[in-house]
């Protein structure tokens, strides 16, 4: 399909772009390791003082950290770089280069979401998977549920980021994605650890809790809310896409 060929072309150009800066590779590797190290140490320090917290023990929490890193890696692989190109003070919308993107005979949402890739994020992906230590007895159905839950998590992430990018079309100065990044950090720990009201916020308002906790639970075999999460993911995706398209129309009507 043509869109697949386009993605291939984008991936190739992005890889060339990355390779233009060789120093980047080592620095990215260092950052990935630092990220991993501090995350793991954080969890280890906690469990050096207690055995379990609300039912989560060290291996389970580490597994959750692994899921967090994997989702972060998938975000940095293409969702992040592509959507970020539009946002921010040197982004396309603010500088006016978005006009070029709008002129292409290709769906704008597709371009905005899949245009830029950072292959180095694959390193984070591997590290995240390593932390998850898939040596626990993984039955096939559990693995499948896990992958599906992970997919739903990534879809929710994409939908949220897309919605934020859409908000940029209204208010190009505001750094919505930064605000989200801070809240996304909360997904490092099981959502059950947070007080009730926060748990509700993190499940229903900004579903970051759902992104990591649900796949981690799927891995351990305790997934009960599978279909619910799936439909939430789908609903958010449709909503975010609609918002984005509506934003495009408004952008074309309201700017000069």
Compute the distance between CA of residue 147 and CA of residue 149 in angstroms, rounded to an integer.
5
Measured from the CB atom, is 166 or 187 closer to another protein?
187
Residue 49 or 224: the one with the smaller Cβ distance to another protein is 49
Binding site for another protein (CB under 8 A): 5-6, 9-10, 13, 16-17, 20-21, 23, 26-27, 30-31, 34, 37-38, 41-42, 44-46, 48-50, 53-54, 95-97, 99-100, 102-106, 174-175, 178-179, 181-183, 185-186, 188-189, 193-195, 198, 249, 252-256
Minimum distance from CB of 157 to another protein (Å)? Answer: 17
Select 107 or 231, whichever has its Cβ closest to another protein. 107
Least separation in angstroms between residue 34's CB and another protein is: 5
Q: How far apart are the first and last CA of the chain?
A: 36
Smallest distance, Å, CB 139 to another protein? Answer: 31
Q: How many helices (H) and strands (E) does the chain have?
A: 13, 0
- For the four alpha carbons of 225, 227, 230 and 234, in that order, the dihedral sign comes to negative
Adjacent-strand bridge partners of 56: 53
Minimum distance, C-beta of residue 107 to another protein, in the bound complex (Å): 8
Q: Which two tokens stand for residue 36?
A: 């991993």
Q: Which is nearer to another protein, 227 or 256 (CB)?
A: 256
Q: Which is nearer to another protein, 209 or 233 (CB)?
A: 209
Pair of tokens at residue 74:
């998938």
């Amino acid at each position: 399909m043509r869109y697949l060929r386009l993605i291939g072309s984008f991936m190739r150009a992005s890889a060339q772009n990355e390779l233009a800066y060789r120093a980047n590779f080592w620095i990215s590797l260092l950052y990935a390791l630092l990220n991993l190290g501090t995350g793991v140490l954080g969890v280890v320090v906690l469990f050096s003082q207690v055995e379990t917290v609300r039912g989560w023990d060290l291996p389970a929490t580490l597994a959750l950290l692994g899921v967090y890193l994997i989702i972060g890696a998938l975000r940095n692989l293409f969702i992040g770089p592509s959507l970020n190109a539009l946002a921010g003070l040197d982004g396309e919308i603010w500088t006016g280069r978005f006009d070029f993107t709008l002129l292409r005979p290709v769906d704008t949402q597709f371009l905005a979401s899949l245009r830029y890739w950072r292959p180095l994020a694959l390193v984070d992906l591997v590290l995240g998977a390593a932390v998850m230590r898939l040596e626990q007895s993984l039955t096939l159905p559990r693995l499948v549920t896990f992958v599906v839950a992970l997919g739903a998590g990534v879809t929710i992430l994409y939908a949220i980021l897309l919605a934020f990018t859409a908000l940029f079309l209204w208010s190009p100065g505001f750094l919505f994605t930064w605000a989200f990044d801070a809240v996304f950090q909360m997904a490092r720990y099981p959502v059950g650890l947070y007080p009730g009201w926060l748990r509700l916020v993190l499940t229903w308002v900004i579903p970051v809790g759902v992104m990591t906790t649900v796949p981690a639970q799927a891995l351990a075999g305790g997934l009960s809310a599978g279909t619910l999460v799936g439909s939430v993911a789908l609903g958010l995706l449709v909503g975010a896409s609609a918002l984005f398209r509506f934003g495009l129309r408004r952008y074309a009507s309201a700017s000069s």
